[in-house]
Each structure stands twice: as C-alpha cells, then as structure tokens.
Chains A and B, each alone.
Chain A
C-alpha cells in the first residue's frame, strides 16, 4: 500500500489485510501522517466557522406565520 492508496482509502471501511497495511503505513509514513493532520484541521476549521445569526426579519416572518396558524388552530 502506497501513500496514494492510503490517502484515497476510506479507512473505516477497510478490513483484514488491507486494514493492517493501512495502519502500518500510517504508523511509519510522516507524509501520510501530515496529510491526515491536514484533513483533521480542515474538519476542525469547518466546525469552527462562525455561524450566522438569523435576521430579525426572517424570524419575524416565521413568527407571523406561526401566530396566524395558531389563531386558526394548530
């Protein structure tokens, strides 16, 4: 198993010998470890992205629809 195979593999789906080869390669290859770290940082960066607050206008529109529906009997 070479770096390209390791990088393209879906690690969780590997079984048997392929899983062993993957783990061995990851343990000894600094480049694949660095690649894995890049992926982990990418995922952490996505998680850390600022979340937009809903606009007051959008909230008010939805609340108005809720009120209207409630009056009509939800």
Chain B
C-alpha cells in the first residue's frame, strides 16, 4: 500500500518536474530576444503609420507574453485558451512577415472547453514558423485544427513551408523532445505526436490525445 503511494507520489513529482522544465525551456526558446526585438521594431514602425493596428499588435504581444511568462500556470487549460494564444502568436508573426504568412485556426464549438495541458501546441506552431515558413522565400500558410477522430482528440498543425529535413535553421529538437516527454509522463503510450510530410508541401505536426 505504502509502496504504491510512494510510487504515485514519485510519478506526480516527476510530472511536475517535467512541466517546470518544459516551462523553463519554453521561456528560453520562445521569448527569444530576436523575436521580441523584431516585434518591438515592428510596433515602433506601425505606431506612426497605422496606430489601430499597432494597438492590436500590442494587445496580442501582451497576451502572448503574459501566457508565456506566467509563473502560475494551471495544470490544464481549455482548447479555446490555447487557440487564442496561438492566434496571438500568429497575428504577431503575420504583421512581421506581411503577405508571406497566412493562417487559419479551426476549433469546433463543441471542443472549446476541452481541457489539455498548456504549452503543448505552442512549440509545434513555433517550429512551423521557424523551420517551415520563415526561411522560405515565398512563405506560405498554416492551418491549425482540432477534431475528434475515433474518440481521440486530434490537434494538427499543417504548414506549407520548406518541409522536413530541408530547413537551414536546424533545430536542436529540444522543443519536440520536450513535448514527447510530457506526453509520455501525462498519458503514457495513449498519446502520440507524429511529424508527417504535408502532401501540398511542408510539414504536418499531428498530436493525438485521449479525450
């Protein structure tokens, strides 16, 4: 009995540790100074030519920073919150990239309140930008959607970027490894993350979670 409780406690501690590590790594990976200063430079430029757009961009930056930096992150968050966070990030990126970036976010009404661990999707969407679309001269499109597939919650991020293994900005894979570790800790083997070649150019990151 006691041994079982101990094991359970250790498991919980391990999950917590991984979540903290994930958050730390996200902090380091996400709020790259490069991203922050470029966004600020865009704001500087927009203020004088398009004040309402600058205001909107500032709001999105605040949302993004608050969500990313928040030290009291809940263990679970709603899909609609995660989608609004991704929208904030993609909004910022589309000001920066101009017509090189377009995106669609599709979250069915019925799935809005589904709970998922925070910051699982964010590294995937940032990979799509950083390795897929940013280095591609013509840019492209990102499609993010949530669906139910045979009782599983499927979250997919499809980009039309450079594609697997082509990006010059080779990642350290820390982001992906981290997502995989967290999935394993939280769901065991019942969750999965797949990276697939997008038939229409680019990459699809497909995350399946038990619903």
A and B part of one assembly = no
